[in-house]
Amino acid sequence: MVNKKENKIVNKVLNDKYTDSIFENIKHLDEYGNEYWYARELSKALEYSDWRNFLKVLNKAKVACKNSGLNADEQLVEVNKPIKTGKGKKEIIKDYKLSRYICYLIVQNADPSKDVVALGQTYFAIQTRKQEITEQEYESLSDDEKRFYQRKLTRQGNYTLQKVASSAGVKNMAEFHNAGYRGLYNGETADDIFKRKKLRYREDILDNMNEDELVANLFRINQTKQRLIKDNVQGENNAKAVHYEVGKKVRKAIQDIGGMMPKKCRHLRKV
């Protein structure tokens, strides 16, 4: 649990300009629901205008990571990202996918005179502690508690996916989400799932999925997000096609391994 002293630190640092949404807004989730940040996005959030100066901080964090006994290569992964230059041409730049822990080490080694760095130090320290507790205690949770946790991840994943889809040009989010549901649920839309589960007015279908069904949907969500980003998908119809295709492939993967199909997962009333 985060103690009162840490909350006071957060409240002291926060003001109209700096809030922890600075780091929340650039957080990503992989296909397993793990959080990560991109180095270039983090450097901008920490107000480093010169990438080379930020790399010095990054290298210090790598050394600190190795000294702590962890494999630095597992905490930050080099990636190549395509960008458009001012002349409209595409250029490949080097970036890094950062774990929460390496982000914590980065802000510990960043310029302490910056208010946003002080906020980052508090934010990543608290987030790391929260996640450590979650990972340690997950297996001891009850079925309902595990379902509640997976539901939280699924909602977070949907939020991140919507931001990516919006950047790809999606306007009608309901149709975009239904494309994924149709692929995973063999043609069913969110409304069809709602009716099949015989839910009441304003009940959320996510509140009425068991752990297995939520995990399947989270996998669909994160794989779609990765495809949209990796392939630089643009246009609403193209984004919906990708979401449908990913949902269908996730469904086939579950069939191939003999798993429980989402449509047949045991229905539960929300907790």
Q: What is the SS3 assignment for 167-222?
A: HCCCCCHHHHHHHHHHHHCCCCCHHHHHHHCCCCCCCCHHHHCCHHHHHHHHHHHH
- What's the total number of domains in the chain? 2
Count of Cβ atoms closer than 10 Å to residue 56 Cβ: 13
Residue 88 to residues 93, 164, 204, 238, 261, Cα–Cα distance (Å): 15, 21, 43, 21, 45
- Picking from 139, 167, 184, the residue at the C-terminal end of a domain is 139
- Picking from 104, 120, 139, the residue at the C-terminal end of a domain is 139
Residue-wise pLDDT for 21-80, tens only, equals 788 889 998 766 778 999 999 999 999 999 999 999 999 999 988 887 788 888 999 998
Dihedral of CA 115/116/117/118: which sign? positive
Q: What domain range includes position 215? A: 141-264
* Residues 79 and 112 both lie in one domain: yes
- Picking from 96, 124, 139, the residue at the C-terminal end of a domain is 139
* Residues 65 and 82 both lie in one domain: yes
270 part of a folded domain: no
Identify the three-state secondary structure at position 32. coil
Q: How confident is the model at residue 271 (pLDDT cuts 50, 70, 90)?
A: very low
**Predicted pLDDT of residue 130:** 65
Q: What is the DSSP letter of 265?
A: S
* Residues 12 and 91 both lie in one domain: yes
Residue-wise pLDDT for 95-133, tens only, equals 999 998 899 999 999 988 888 888 888 788 777 766 665
* Residues 112 and 208 both lie in one domain: no
* Residues 183 and 69 both lie in one domain: no
96 part of a folded domain: yes
269 part of a folded domain: no
Residue 262 exposed, middle or buried by CB count within 10 Å (0-12, 13-18, 19+):
buried
* Residues 161 and 255 both lie in one domain: yes
Statement: residue 15 has pLDDT above 50: no
Round to whole Å and give the CA distance between 80 and 198.
Answer: 47
Q: Find, among 60, 124, 260, 263, the residue nearest to 181 by Cα.
A: 263
* Residues 13 and 120 both lie in one domain: yes
Average pLDDT score, the chain: 83
Round to whole Å and give the CA distance between 61 and 103.
Answer: 8
* Residues 253 and 157 both lie in one domain: yes
10 part of a folded domain: yes
* Residues 121 and 212 both lie in one domain: no
Assigned token pair, 211: 């752990």
